[in-house]
Structure 1
Amino acid sequence: MKTAPVHLSAESCPRVAENGANEYEDYAELRALLQLQNPRTDAPAELSFLIVTQVMELYFTLLRHEWERARAAILDGDVRTAVRTLRRGHGAQDALTGAWEALRTLTPAEFDAFRESFGIASGVQSVQYRHLEFLLGARHPHALAVHERTPDRQAELRAQAEAPSLYDAALRLLHARGFAIPSELLHRDHVIQYVGDDRAVAAWQAVYESEAGHADLVDLADALFDTAERQVRWKQRHLLIVWRAMGDKPGSAGTSGAQWLERGVHRKYFPDLWTLRDGFAA
Structure 2
Amino acid sequence: MYKKYFDAHFHWFDHSAFSDRLSSNIGDLDTKEYFLETYGRYGMTGGIMMGNGEIEKQGDSLPDGFYYCVGLDQIACTDDIREALPAIEKHLQREKCVGVKLYPGYVPLYPHDECYVEVLELLLKYNKTLAVHTGMLAALSGKLKYAHPIHLDDIAVDYPELRIVMCHFGNPFLAEAAAVMEHNRNVYADLSGLLEGLFVTEHFVKTEELYISNLKTWIRYIGEPERFLFGTDWPAVKCDEYVKFIASLFDEKEIEQVLRYNAYQAYNIKYDTRTCVNDQ
Under a length normalisation based on structure 1, what TM-score does the superposition of the two structures give?
Answer: 0.26
Task: Give the number of the structure whose residues are more often helix, by fraction.
Answer: 1
TM-score using structure 2 length: 0.26
